């Protein structure tokens, strides 16, 4: 019996098969166990000897099973190691990662600048009411200046906001007469014809400061500081008088481009007394300044981008140039 089983053991190549053989060779229904049962039929003087022989055979087989198990386990481990071997000299796969869009980088840079000056960041709805987008900013229904910002209306009273300035009105009402120092970045929409510097959808960063003795000099200093921060002190810039119904006086800032012309980057001014009043502030007691910066225009001027549409066409060859951050 021992020889027969030993032969079978040595032929087995698989750990599962070995386990099966072990139960059939040594288990309850095995030949050896059958002999044990028949022990009682033997003459008394033969019983101890035969019993001993059966037990010794069992023990010897256990050992052989264990040994074979060890051999097979080692073989399995080696095969596994062989299969999982890593060739560190193979060329790697190139991982293509995304990155922050240039416009977001510019937005975050300007945000950080204003956070450093103690401004809070606000948010406002892109679908806005006519009331906030125009009326609260001193542009009644038939005001001719509404034509300055041709709009996408959704119904009679709602439109895609044409600028981030409605957030001024919302913040004033929320603040209930307290001092204000906020910026609000976001998307805006206009029925402008797309060209190199105009898009029907673009981004602005609104700013609003209200408090006692806020002056035009503060506005000028703030605008100069943010423009110098972004473009450096070498860049030629121009402050030019302008007109907005919600500020008086009003100005615009132009930055000199690489191709030799001034491009307008922002509108600003001292908050109009009517706007302060509608927002719940007394123009006799407090003053305010506000500005609206075009984010695309900043990026165009700093990186000599030749066409605003480059920002929206998602050509990775364009986007990859700005992967490393500002």
Sheet hosting strand 201-211, strand order edge to edge? 120-121, 180-189, 201-211, 287-294, 262-271, 247-256, 237-244
* Sites of contact with ligand FA5 (CB under 6 A): 149, 163, 165, 190, 192, 198-199, 202, 204, 244, 247, 250, 264-269, 290-292, 294, 296-297, 308
Q: Which is nearer to ligand FA5, 30 or 250 (CB)?
A: 250
Q: Which is nearer to ligand FA5, 163 or 170 (CB)?
A: 163
- Measure the CA–CA gap between 308 and 105, rounded to whole angstroms: 16
From the CB of 97, what's the least distance to ligand FA5, in Å?
29
Q: 248 labelled as ligand-binding?
A: yes
The angle subtended at Cα 284 by Cα 279 and Cα 287, nearest 5°, is 60
From the CB of 128, what's the least distance to ligand FA5, in Å?
12
Cβ 35 vs Cβ 56: under 8 Å: no
From the CB of 250, what's the least distance to ligand FA5, in Å?
6
Token pair in block for residue 321: 């140039």
Q: Which is nearer to ligand FA5, 108 or 307 (CB)?
A: 307
Q: Which is nearer to ligand FA5, 85 or 314 (CB)?
A: 314
Query: How do beta strands 247-256 and 237-244 pair?
Result: antiparallel
Cβ 125 vs Cβ 132: under 8 Å: no
From the CB of 306, what's the least distance to ligand FA5, in Å?
14
Per the annotation, where are the binding residues for Mg(2+)?
248
């Amino acid at each position: 019996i021992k020889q027969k089983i030993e032969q079978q053991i040595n032929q087995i190549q698989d750990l599962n098969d070995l386990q099966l053989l072990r139960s059939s060779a040594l288990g309850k229904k095995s030949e050896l166990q059958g002999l044990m049962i028949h022990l009682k039929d033997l003459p008394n003087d033969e019983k101890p000897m035969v019993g001993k022989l059966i037990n010794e055979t069992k023990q010897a087989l256990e050992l052989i099973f264990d040994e074979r198990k060890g051999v097979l386990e080692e073989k399995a481990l080696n095969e596994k190691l062989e299969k999982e071997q890593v060739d560190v000299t193979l060329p790697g796969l190139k991982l293509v990662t995304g990155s922050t869009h240039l416009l977001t980088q510019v937005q975050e840079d300007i945000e950080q600048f204003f956070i450093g000056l103690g401004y809070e960041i606000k948010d406002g709805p892109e679908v806005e009411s006519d009331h906030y987008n125009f009326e609260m900013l001193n542009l009644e229904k038939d005001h001719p200046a509404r034509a300055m910002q041709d709009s996408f209306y959704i119904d009679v009273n709602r439109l895609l906001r044409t600028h981030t300035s409605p957030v001024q009105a919302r913040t004033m009402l929320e603040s209930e007469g307290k001092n204000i120092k906020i910026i609000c970045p976001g998307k805006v929409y206009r029925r402008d014809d797309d060209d190199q510097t105009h898009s029907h959808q673009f981004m602005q960063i609104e700013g609003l400061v209200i408090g006692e003795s806020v002056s035009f000099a503060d506005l000028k200093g703030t605008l100069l500081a943010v423009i110098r921060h972004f473009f450096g002190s070498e860049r030629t810039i121009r402050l030019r008088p302008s007109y907005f119904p919600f500020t008086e006086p009003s100005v615009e800032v132009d930055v000199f481009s690489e191709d030799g012309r001034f491009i307008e980057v922002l509108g600003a001014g001292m908050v109009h007394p009517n706007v302060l009043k509608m927002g719940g502030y007394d123009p006799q007691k407090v003053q305010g300044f506000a500005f609206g910066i075009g984010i695309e225009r900043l990026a165009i001027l700093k990186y000599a981008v030749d066409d605003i549409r480059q920002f929206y066409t998602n050509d990775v060859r364009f986007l990859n140039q700005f992967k490393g951050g500002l």
